[in-house]
Amino acid sequence: MKQHSISFTTLLLILLVSLLSACQMERPVESTLVYGLTLTPSGIDPHLNASAELGIPLTSVYDTLIFRDQESGEFVPGLAREWSISEDGCDYTFLLREDVTFHDSTRFDAAAVAANLDYIVDPDHRSQNAIFMLGPYEGWTIDDEFTITLHLAEPFAPLLDSLSQVYLGMASPAALAQWGAAEYQFHQVGTGPYRFVEYIPGDHLTLERNPDYAWAPDIYEAQSASIETIIFRFFTDAATRGYALETGQVDILGEIPPNEALRLAPMDTFNLHTIAVPGIPLQFIFNTQLEPTDDPEVRRALLLLLDRETIVSTVFHGTSPVANGPFSSILLSMDESLDFPDANADVAIHMLAERGWSLTPSDELQRDGNQLSLLMVVPPWGYAPDVAQLMAAAWTTAGINVDIELVPGFGSLLEAQQRGEYHLIALNAFGSDPSVVDSYYSSDGLYNWSGYRSDAMDQLLKAAVESTLSSEQREDLYREMAFLVREETLIIPIRDYVNLVIANERVTGLHFSAQGWFPYLIDVRLIS
């Protein structure tokens, strides 16, 4: 009988394959990841501060009561294993997990949830975002050790979306009490897959793996993190980001300029992640209270003079879709009948002529001896200045005088808006619930910078928020609202926001939350 033997080489190969398989199953702890941040927030306590940038690291420090699945959009259990909503939509009861501890070993329970809510709504703390995300919140009742009910003065449909975000992440009540609103941002304690270690403003923020994490929600692909340390460093100058990636200063970096992203993407050493961010697209808001943009026909004509597709292609090089309404397409899908019209210069000039604006021999659009003139107020972010230049060029060609006022930041943008002397002002916003538009279009909205007031608009917005309607019914109301925005030409929509993230080829498993900005770092691995 013939004997079969296994060579030493074959045996060694089998052993190596077995070891590699075992390593993959155990997700071995790896060393250090460097993640680039592009904005230096004025504060990073998510309960009190508002920057989207703070959520990039802190989503891994905090768990939330519920999570939103980034693919289905459905809400799934988090620190709350179950929840129910009263028939009138005013009471939300959460049954909490009983096996969770904070990074400082404090137990998570209903009292911890209550302490977080009290911290957020404390008027002395002046929460910039989280308190507003709670809507008409009135208080809480602890039903038992692991059951809490939140009470609202009236129905508030966006509440579940709010509770799924880092701004309402659960912090250790012991840490909140120890450090207070002034110092807690430097000593943050959550229940998430990473522990907060250190924050040096403008320099770095450091997280370390939480070895005790044992309650990962289903939205994560991994049950525990594999990277030991994550260091976040700041790269506020967009021109330096490509260089930082190429020289190995950073492993992951977002908001890469489009031309740099397209240059780096084909390289074997990098991978490009195009992350659509839900919310309000980059748009130019018309001032309906100032001539000549107080006339809806003039607003429509100005829109028709712009080839928005060419503008977006020129500035963003195919990395962003053209916006077609007050919502980004990833937030709320629109019927084609709601699309803003394409450019048509002949129709635009005819519309202006009907309003008394005619071309002079010197190619100026004039009425009663005065040239049609526009002032645009433009912030520095989101490539708004580049877009504004192309818009101004198109209007100038048509005989319109255009001035652009560039402002250095949000404070100066707000000051310019409050003066009320602008005809168009650029703005965008982020949000994963359609109610993000409310403050822009309700008559008394904080950001109703168009000055447009409409009972019909207010009723639609009110019905969509203060209701117990299904998500599909709410979306239909927002589509009706979008129809009014288009019919009145309150905005010039430009582009849906896409975050261009470049990662070193050794980074695997990178994906982002339903809000678009926030990476799930528990799932990231580094391969050699």
Contacts of 201 (CB under 8 A, 6+ apart): 40
Res 214: pLDDT? 97
Q: What does the pLDDT average to over 241-267?
A: 96
Using the structure block, give the residue that is written with the tokens 């308190």.
131
Q: What does the domain layout of the chain look like in residue ranges?
A: 30-276+499-526, 279-496
Res 22: pLDDT? 40
> pLDDT tens-digit profile of 226-253?
999 999 999 999 999 999 999 999 999 9
Res 469: pLDDT? 83
Q: How sure is the predictor about 410, in pLDDT bands with cuts at 50, 70 and 90? A: confident
Judged against a pLDDT cut of 80, whether residue 21 lies above it is answered with no
- Choose the weakest-confidence range: 115-124, 338-347, 462-471: 462-471
CATH superfamily for 30-276+499-526 is Periplasmic binding protein-like II (3.40.190.10)
Q: How sure is the predictor about 9, in pLDDT bands with cuts at 50, 70 and 90? A: very low
Q: What does the pLDDT average to over 118-140?
A: 97
Res 337: pLDDT? 82
Strand 252-253 with 498-504, pairing? antiparallel
Q: What does the pLDDT average to over 92-108?
A: 98
Calculate the average pLDDT of the chain: 93
Distance CA 327, CA 510 (A): 26
DSSP string, 71-105: TT--EEESSEEEEEE-TTS-EEEEEEPSS-B-TTS
Judged against a pLDDT cut of 90, whether residue 17 lies above it is answered with no
Q: What does the pLDDT average to over 405-414?
A: 93
> pLDDT tens-digit profile of 444-461?
999 999 999 999 999 999
Q: What does the pLDDT average to over 109-137?
A: 97
Distance CA 74, CA 133 (A): 18
- The architecture that CATH gives domain 279-496 is Roll (3.10)
- Nearest partner of 57 among 131, 166, 162, 133, judged by Cα: 166
Q: What does the pLDDT average to over 377-381?
A: 94
Res 30: pLDDT? 53
E strand or H helix at 395: helix 384-397
Q: How sure is the predictor about 74, in pLDDT bands with cuts at 50, 70 and 90? A: very high
> pLDDT tens-digit profile of 161-183?
999 999 999 999 999 999 999 99
- Choose the weakest-confidence range: 70-74, 114-118, 438-442: 70-74
Res 15: pLDDT? 43
Instruction: List C-alpha distances in Å: 485 to 182, 285, 435, 440, 456.
Output: 42, 11, 15, 11, 11
- Choose the weakest-confidence range: 29-33, 96-100, 187-191, 380-384: 29-33
Q: How sure is the predictor about 28, in pLDDT bands with cuts at 50, 70 and 90? A: very low
pTM score, two decimals?
0.89
Residue 151 has phi, psi (to 5 degrees) of -110, 135
